[in-house]
Structure 1
Amino acid sequence: MIRSELIQKAAEENPHLTLRDVERVVNTIFEEIVDAMCQGNRVELRGFGAFSVKKRDARQGRNPRTGEAVQVEEKHVPFFKAGKLLRDRLNGE
């Protein structure tokens, strides 16, 4: 499912809201999740899962084409851990 499909589905289930209002709500939710993660905070949606940021230390890597050693800088990556209800539902429980 892509963002536009999510917006369309939410608009269908909430006929009292305009498509523009639903789009604004969805975009606001995503922006708040991104903003919280940029500040290093964890975002937990009970039953769905938790979004967090993991730090990857700098390391020595290899260029796969040449085999030459390259320095890979430290970076932060998004991480998602599914909640129990989501895992159970995916496994048919």
Structure 2
Amino acid sequence: MNKSDLIDAMAADAGITKAAAKKSLESFLGNVEKSLKQGNRVSLVGFGSWSVSKRAAREGRNPQTGKTIKIAAKNVVKFKAGSDLQNSVN
């Protein structure tokens, strides 16, 4: 399922227009992104939670040349599925 499929499904399930569903989805995604940028965790009980963790700088290897390269430190977004979501998939 891609973004437009999700918008269509949301509009059909909620009985709203596709434009309203798109606006709702973009608002949700924007607020999750803003919260994660601030270093906060976003939790939806039963569905899952998003968090940001720091990945330290490290050395890696270029697989073509075997040369050692430096990989910079960065923040990584993690998602952990909630128990309800996990149980519904299995």
Output the CA distance in 1 between the equivalents of 2:38 and 2:79. 16
Aligned equivalent of 1:9: 9
Displacement of 1:14 in angstroms is: 2.2
Secondary structure at the residue paired with 1:41? coil
- Which AA in structure 2 matches 1:87? Q
In structure 2, stretches of 5+ residues that fail to align are: none
Output the CA distance in 2 between the equivalents of 1:2 and 1:23. 13
How many percent identity over aligned positions? 39
- Which AA in structure 1 matches 2:63? P
The alignment's TM-score, normalised by the length of structure 1, stands at 0.91
Q: Deviations over 1:11-57 (max 9, x none)?
A: 11222x22111110010001101111111111001110000111110
Output the CA distance in 2 between the equivalents of 1:8 and 1:26. 11
In structure 1, stretches of 5+ residues that fail to align are: none
Aligned equivalent of 1:38: 37
Aligned equivalent of 2:65: 66
Q: Which runs of 4+ in 1 moved over 4 A?
A: none
Displacement of 1:60 in angstroms is: 1.1
| RMSD over equivalenced CA pairs, Å | 0.9
Aligned equivalent of 2:17: 18
- Which AA in structure 1 matches 2:12? E
Aligned equivalent of 1:83: 82
Output the CA distance in 2 between the equivalents of 1:49 and 1:33. 13
Aligned length, in residue pairs: 90
